[in-house]
Amino acid sequence: MRDGSILKKLVQAQDPAASGESPINFGVYYKNTLVALCHALEDCILAADCKPLVISAFQQGKWYLQEADRYGAIAEQAEQVVIMAAADGGFHSHPTSQRPNVALVDLAPTDPVAQEWHLIILSSEYTAMVLCQELTEADYGPQGLPTNDLERKFYGLWTFEPSLVGQTMDHTIAHLGQYDPDLQALCQRQKDAILAANPTLSEATSTQTLSHVVMRVLDYLQGSEANGDAAFATPQDLHHNLLSNELQAMLRMAQLADAMDPVNPLAAKEVVALLEMMGQLADLPAWRLQRLRLAGWLYRIAPIQAESLPQTDAPSCPLVPGAQVLRRMPQLRAIAQIITHQTEYWDGSGQPAGLAGDQIPLESRMLSLVSYFQHQVAQQSAEAGEQAIAQALALCQKAEGERWDPKLVEVLSLMVKGLQQGLSLPSIPLKASLGAGLLNPEVETWDRVSASPPPSHVS
């Protein structure tokens, strides 16, 4: 990372050990991918009824000119738009640049931010950002710099997480002060006003709003692949990069669902750890463990309103709203099925398909039991303390044979004994930037959901 860059300042300010926050997940992105991501996030400004503070870095003025008309529409919706770029021909003369709420900042050639690509959105309704810097010639290795502009690569991250967006906005506003102290003060006042109106931005971001944002991201990423294949010397590399980012969008939405829960903010992390332990005790093969982990990370992606769902006799996946988002990616159809059937009951009285016993997919039974157990522990920990685990297990045992698979309740009992005797849960870190690696390409089972399985690693 370049010294003095916004990206490096953000990283240097992080202390996950002290804050309890997850480490930042970084990735490498083609320019083609970043264009799709930024257009999706910008579209949400145009669709939302809010007045965001928007700060972008375009590296060069010519890149801004390609988007200047689009930014004119954004300026009509935004409280303030700030564009940072190295000045070149036409940068200041475009009509969008003359708007009263659009400020242009000419970056010095030696400014490391001139090698970065930013889009930072802070609003009362949602937060989002892309924060990347271009790879150096040495980073590209023996193959050298790409000849196709869309194949240029950038290192960094994109996220909806309010705390990261807020911190990045602080660093960026401070950087503006080197060029225009009045603009710095203006942006600081606007940021303070947004925070004053919504002291807890994570609670201001609704599940519905976030779902719309993610849908736009998926649309743009999938459309970007269709339009970009012909321009790429190695289209498969583009496919892998876009696939990774589609899954990242899902994982980030799931992470925010946890972050917006003040009582149970570690739900997915703990559920995945419990599922890992249960899967090991049940001697599941590696490919099923992979699938189980991913279902655990994504199970809260959208609450399933079971009471509104029709009963069916078909064992196939009904159109459950919470799982429909996942079906946008063919590679996640098996995960969508697991999540859909987590509300089935062992005695057949559950929804959405009224499946009973072993008709319910095993992973769905495991996810249902473990997520209920984890939720009960979280709910009771404040009052019951160390007894919360025993009380949560007792509730599960009370419903075995009706709601839960008796064999899995027995496995859960063994797990609880181990935990009470000091056994630690396995730590399963979420590497969102390598999200496609969660999909195991080496197992024939995935052929049922993807004609072209993803790689185990996306650079």
Pairing of strands 53-60, 80-86: parallel
CATH number of the domain within which 357 lies = 1.10.3210.10
Q: Is residue 372 part of a domain?
A: yes
Best-predicted range by mean pLDDT among 117-131, 149-163, 252-266, 328-342? 117-131
- pLDDT over 80 (residue 222): no
Check whether residue 316 and residue 383 sit in a common domain: yes
Buried b (16+ CB within 10 A) or exposed e, 308-333: ebeeeeeeebbebebbebbbbbebbb
Check whether residue 277 and residue 171 sit in a common domain: no
Q: Is residue 457 part of a domain?
A: no
Check whether residue 363 and residue 214 sit in a common domain: no
What's residue 206's pLDDT?
52
- pLDDT over 60 (residue 170): yes
192 vs 304, higher pLDDT: 192
Query: What average pLDDT does the chain have?
Result: 79
Domain range for residue 51? 6-259
Q: Is residue 435 part of a domain?
A: no
The mean per-residue pLDDT over the stretch 30-42 comes to 85
140 vs 390, higher pLDDT: 390
Coil, helix or strand at residue 70: helix
> Are the C-beta atoms of residues 7 and 29 closer than 8 Å to each other?
no
- pLDDT over 50 (residue 458): no
Phi, psi at residue 422, to the nearest 5°?
Answer: 100, 5
Instruction: Using CB atoms within 10 Å of the CB of residue 385, give its burial: 0 to 12 exposed, 13 to 18 middle, 19+ buried.
Output: exposed
Domain endpoint, select from 259, 277, 299: 259
What's residue 242's pLDDT?
66
What's residue 427's pLDDT?
61
Q: Is residue 428 part of a domain?
A: no
Work out the pLDDT band at 438, boundaries 50, 70, 90: very low
- pLDDT over 70 (residue 290): yes
Q: pTM here?
A: 0.70
CA atoms of 148 and 248, how far apart (whole Å): 25
- pLDDT over 90 (residue 149): no
- pLDDT over 50 (residue 459): no
What's residue 113's pLDDT?
92
- How far out from the chain centre does Cα 223 lie? 19
What's residue 320's pLDDT?
54
425 vs 188, higher pLDDT: 188
Instruction: Using CB atoms within 10 Å of the CB of residue 245, give its burial: 0 to 12 exposed, 13 to 18 middle, 19+ buried.
Output: buried
What's residue 26's pLDDT?
83
> Are the C-beta atoms of residues 400 and 423 closer than 8 Å to each other?
no
For the chain, percent of residues with pLDDT exceeding 90 = 36
- pLDDT over 50 (residue 450): no
Q: In which residue are the tokens 């998926």 written?
A: 218
Q: In which residue are the tokens 């930013």 written?
A: 118
What's residue 246's pLDDT?
73
Q: Token pair of 155, please?
A: 């290192």
What's residue 88's pLDDT?
76
101 vs 307, higher pLDDT: 101
Check whether residue 279 and residue 236 sit in a common domain: no
The mean per-residue pLDDT over the stretch 119-123 comes to 93
Q: Structural domain tally of the chain? A: 2
How far CA 83 is from CA of 188, 225, 257, 337, 359, in Å, comes to 16, 27, 31, 44, 57
Determine which helix (DSSP H) or strand (DSSP E) holds 421, and give its type and residue range.
Answer: none
Residue 60's identity, in one-letter code, is Q
Lowest mean pLDDT among 237-251, 338-352, 415-429: 237-251
What's residue 305's pLDDT?
36
Check whether residue 227 and residue 304 sit in a common domain: no
Q: Is residue 447 part of a domain?
A: no
Phi, psi at residue 105, to the nearest 5°?
Answer: -120, 115
Q: In which residue are the tokens 């930037």 written?
A: 433
Coil, helix or strand at residue 446: helix
Work out the pLDDT band at 317, boundaries 50, 70, 90: very low
Check whether residue 148 and residue 278 sit in a common domain: no
Q: Is residue 237 part of a domain?
A: yes
- pLDDT over 80 (residue 408): yes
The mean per-residue pLDDT over the stretch 367-395 comes to 88
Instruction: Using CB atoms within 10 Å of the CB of residue 437, give its burial: 0 to 12 exposed, 13 to 18 middle, 19+ buried.
Output: middle
